[in-house]
Chains A and B, each alone.
Chain A
Amino acid sequence: MRSSAMRDMMAVTERPEVISLAGGLPDTSTFPPDTLAAVLDSVAVHDAAKALQYGPTEGIVEAKDCIVEVMAAEGMAVDPADLIVTSGGQQVIDLVCKTLVDPGDVIVAEAPTYPGAVPTFCSYQADVVQVDMDSDGMRIDLLESTLDRLEKDGRRPKFIYTIPSFQNPAGVTMSLPRRKRLVEVARERELLVLEDNPYGLLRYEGDPQPTLRSIDGGLYTMYLGTFSKILSPGIRLGWVVAPPPVLEKINIGKQAADLCSSTLSQLMVSAYFEQGRWRDYVDSLTEIYRARRDTMLDALAEFLPRESEWTRPGGGLFIWVTLPDYIDTTDLLARALRDNVAFVPGEAAYLDGRGRSSMRLNFSGVDEDSIREGVRRIGKVVEEQVALYGTLTGRPRTSSAAEAAAPAPPAEEYPGGSVVHLPRRPGRGRQAKG
């Protein structure tokens, strides 16, 4: 009941007057219309009949070649025969569940996990076990103890779902030692890993980390990629690379789901890649998003009360903010919507009711002025609740960083995601930071 009420509330976030930091939208207004026109023109002139026709379930060769190119840019060599073109990355999650999961089966995921995967996991009636993260991503030690515990109960997870780079929603990146260890754990225990990597190329600082697939060589890794964040989510194209027996089953599942992904979209991607400038566009996005991330980090330091914490993502689209534990972010959203600002309440990223004092903020979808104004409005309503709580408990009112006597801590004082919030059960006391 509560979750459906939350879904209903999320629908209100789409009102035009609302500054929405809730979506996961790339900024498609940055894509040059001329380029789109040229791409469409090229498809129409050269491939009209093919573009309007069904295609093979696994995708057309032209699109697969583009995917091989993107994966090479992320340090992976892949044979086009080992991948299937899908209708967005979301379909990969769905097809992998369809292929592997029976009701009651265990899926291991990060805590918090991608909110969009939650309804998919639920629709296959999976029992999702979430493993906590810190600033270096999923805690592999906790993963191992979780797997031990499951094994004792005679339960074997169908797969481990992870977004190692610039995780949605937490914004943290798995360290290299943990990546290596995760691959080892998967091999030792013969467990499949679904590596979801939509943001790997949207990196604003630091060196790229090797993907799990490149470490593992594809033995136990199913790899999910997408054109949504590097080109357009509107064309609905993603892909999956998986070990052959799994891939075969995914192919059958996809046939049942939609026969094939849009041939028109696939030819558009191919025509676009032929121009040879896709990396330039990703670079331009990276510039824009980096500035927006910085704007958001600055605004958070300025407008949020001092007992708030947030992550500092090195890439991707999201910052994960954790407020004092007496603030319920689902309720806060109702209040925030009256001030025309929206975010994703943290509980959407959990299946066990945790995350209720956290929120996911997106910095890619709106411009810098709106980010600043949106965070200011969130700060105002949080401040209001902090003050009210102080009144109710007789605790002195705490002030926001900007109002405090001490100078506001610069964003640099929140180094590389070291302040990622570890999820807590609601109601448990906690130390206030700062």
Chain B
Amino acid sequence: MARVAVLKGGPSLERQVSLRSGARVEDALQRLGHEPLPIDAGSDLIVRLRELQPDVAFVALHGRDGEDGTVQELLEILGIPYTGSGVLACSRSIDKVLTKMLLREAGLPTPEFCSFNYTAFKELGAAEALPTIGEKLGYPIVVKPAGQGSALGIKFAQSEAELPAAIVSAFSYDTKVLLERQVKGRELAVSILDGPDGPEALPILEAVPNEADFYDFEARYKFGGTEFVCPAQIDEAAADRVTQVSLDTYKLLGLEGFGRVDVILDEDTGEPMVLEANAIPGLTETSLLPQAADAAGIGLEDLVERIVDLALARAGRATTA
């Protein structure tokens, strides 16, 4: 039996999702015979961790602070083993721009992009470059905050006229924005779990919009829900390529324990394009990783046990209860 601090909540915009992820992890830990120690990550985080002296921390935080390496750095300082990726991998994957730069450098496929920070527009007159960016990327352009995990702040600019408002929206979330060529195609998520022989990809999941109008991405975020199909119904060769680039991305970023890579299957070329990676994907009933694990016959308890064991093993502690 291990005493497991479950870090959840926190001040990020994804607080609610994190609370649900955390609650599910606690239930699973309980059923596994461990002792879950829930902690809502706030200003007393260090004090609570010092008081509780857990064997391991399960980081069920999403978004800023929890998924960007901040909490991981604190846990390193306290010497508490923790689940999932380390500080560097978290810092890389939370930043969509950095992720894409690394992908590009490594020769992995990702939609063409450019990125600016607030200062570039404010102090360096980057606005003058917007027409050139439009020519380079071609419309429609997706504008995203560099470090926001949920769908919030993502805008689709159909033309140059729509670009400024989209950029203003993205800067609501971050001081850095990503402008990316909109690739159309099937949206896939590859969840990855570390195993004895290194990272293993779980069955590919496809997000299928309910709304018939697939063209209007933004409408999908607003109205109709999204249906998830796992395993995705795609041909074997494409599936292999999707899995391979996802695993390559996971390794490139140095992700550990578990993670998720979001990929779009370019409808023009049939090739997978990596959009982003998540160091701490959601673990709620409706989250993608648990669905993919389920499709592989791995229940939530198995999943949680494996993630905790990996954390303890990394720290050189005895593995099972």
| Inter-chain contact B11/A326, CB cutoff 8 Å | no
A residues apposed to B, CB below 8 Å: 1-3, 5-9, 11-12, 15, 326-328, 330-332, 334-335, 337, 353, 385, 388-389, 391-394, 427
What is the distance, in angstroms, from A258's C-beta to the closest C-beta of chain B?
Answer: 27
Q: Total interface residues on B, using CB and 8 Å?
A: 36
| Inter-chain contact B151/A328, CB cutoff 8 Å | no
| Inter-chain contact A385/B153, CB cutoff 8 Å | no
A335 to B153, CA, bound (A): 10
What is the distance, in angstroms, from B152's C-beta to the closest C-beta of chain A?
Answer: 5
| Inter-chain contact A326/B168, CB cutoff 8 Å | yes
Q: When the two chains form the complex, which single residue of A2, A6, A391, A427 contacts B121, counting CB atoms closer than 8 Å?
A: A391
A326 to B13, CA, bound (A): 22
Q: When the two chains form the complex, which single residue of B127, B130, B152, B164 contacts A326, counting CB atoms closer than 8 Å?
A: B164
> Which of B30-38, B105-113, B222-230, B246-254 contacts the other chain?
B222-230
Interface of B is mostly: helix
Interface string of B117-147 (1 = CB under 8 A from A): 0100110000100100000000000000000
| Inter-chain contact B122/A1, CB cutoff 8 Å | no
Check: B162 CB closer than 8 A to any chain A CB. Answer: yes
| Inter-chain contact A334/B152, CB cutoff 8 Å | yes
Can you spell out 10 A-B residue pairs with CB atoms less than 8 angstroms apart? Answer: A5-B151, A12-B12, A12-B15, A388-B167, A389-B168, A391-B122, A391-B127, A392-B121, A392-B130, A392-B164
Chain B residues with Cβ under 8 A from A335's Cβ? 171-173
What is the distance, in angstroms, from A40's C-beta to the closest C-beta of chain B?
Answer: 33
A335 to B155, CA, bound (A): 16
In this complex, what residue of B is CB-closest to A15? B11
Check: B214 CB closer than 8 A to any chain A CB. Answer: no
A367 to B228, CA, bound (A): 47
| Inter-chain contact B221/A385, CB cutoff 8 Å | no
| Inter-chain contact A1/B225, CB cutoff 8 Å | yes
Q: When the two chains form the complex, which single residue of B16, B164, B165, B220 contacts A328, counting CB atoms closer than 8 Å?
A: B165
A15 to B11, CA, bound (A): 8
Interface string of B193-224 (1 = CB under 8 A from A): 00000000000000000000000000111110
Check: B39 CB closer than 8 A to any chain A CB. Answer: no
A9 to B173, CA, bound (A): 12
Q: When the two chains form the complex, which single residue of B130, B150, B155 contacts A8, counting CB atoms closer than 8 Å?
A: B150
Interface string of B1-42 (1 = CB under 8 A from A): 000000000011111110000000000000000000000000
Q: Given A330-B152, A331-B153, A392-B167, is A12 in contact with B13 using a C-beta cutoff of 8 Å?
A: yes
Given contacts A328-B168, A337-B13, 8 further A-B contacts (CB under 8 A): A1-B220, A2-B221, A7-B16, A328-B165, A388-B167, A389-B168, A392-B127, A427-B165
Q: Given A8-B13, A8-B150, A334-B173, is A353 in contact with B223 using a C-beta cutoff of 8 Å?
A: yes
| Inter-chain contact A1/B13, CB cutoff 8 Å | no
Chain A residues with Cβ under 8 A from B115's Cβ? none
A264 to B128, CA, bound (A): 67
Check: B319 CB closer than 8 A to any chain A CB. Answer: no
Name the residue in A1, A328, A388 with the highest tally of chain B Cβ atoms < 10 Å from its Cβ: A1
A6 to B222, CA, bound (A): 10
In this complex, what residue of A is CB-closest to B118? A388
Interface string of B36-66 (1 = CB under 8 A from A): 0000000000000000000000000000000
In this complex, what residue of B is CB-closest to A384? B171
Q: Given A1-B225, A5-B150, A353-B222, is A11 in contact with B16 using a C-beta cutoff of 8 Å?
A: yes
In this complex, what residue of B is CB-closest to A337? B13
Q: When the two chains form the complex, which single residue of A8, A337, A385 contacts B17, counting CB atoms closer than 8 Å?
A: A8
A385 to B168, CA, bound (A): 6
Chain B residues with Cβ under 8 A from A6's Cβ? 152
A353 to B220, CA, bound (A): 11
A170 to B167, CA, bound (A): 28
Q: Given A12-B15, A15-B11, A331-B172, is A388 in contact with B122 using a C-beta cutoff of 8 Å?
A: yes
Q: When the two chains form the complex, which single residue of B164, B167, B226 contacts A1, counting CB atoms closer than 8 Å?
A: B226
Q: Given A330-B152, A392-B121, A392-B167, is A385 in contact with B172 using a C-beta cutoff of 8 Å?
A: yes
What is the distance, in angstroms, from A18's C-beta to the closest C-beta of chain B?
Answer: 10
| Inter-chain contact A394/B127, CB cutoff 8 Å | yes
A388 to B125, CA, bound (A): 11
In this complex, what residue of A is CB-closest to B164? A392
| Inter-chain contact A334/B122, CB cutoff 8 Å | no
| Inter-chain contact B168/A392, CB cutoff 8 Å | yes
Chain A residues with Cβ under 8 A from B13's Cβ? 5, 8-9, 12, 334, 337
A12 to B164, CA, bound (A): 27
Chain A residues with Cβ under 8 A from B223's Cβ? 353
What is the distance, in angstroms, from A15's C-beta to the closest C-beta of chain B?
Answer: 7
A414 to B170, CA, bound (A): 32
| Inter-chain contact B165/A389, CB cutoff 8 Å | yes
Chain A residues with Cβ under 8 A from B150's Cβ? 5, 8
In this complex, what residue of B is CB-closest to A327? B168
Chain A residues with Cβ under 8 A from B152's Cβ? 2, 5-6, 9, 330-331, 334
In this complex, what residue of A is CB-closest to B130? A392
A353 to B152, CA, bound (A): 15
A330 to B155, CA, bound (A): 12
A6 to B219, CA, bound (A): 15
Chain B residues with Cβ under 8 A from A328's Cβ? 155, 165, 168-169, 172
A337 to B11, CA, bound (A): 10
Q: When the two chains form the complex, which single residue of B127, B169, B222 contacts A3, counting CB atoms closer than 8 Å?
A: B222
| Inter-chain contact B127/A393, CB cutoff 8 Å | yes
| Inter-chain contact A393/B151, CB cutoff 8 Å | no
A331 to B222, CA, bound (A): 14
| Inter-chain contact A334/B127, CB cutoff 8 Å | no
What is the distance, in angstroms, from A10's C-beta to the closest C-beta of chain B?
Answer: 9
Chain A residues with Cβ under 8 A from B14's Cβ? 8
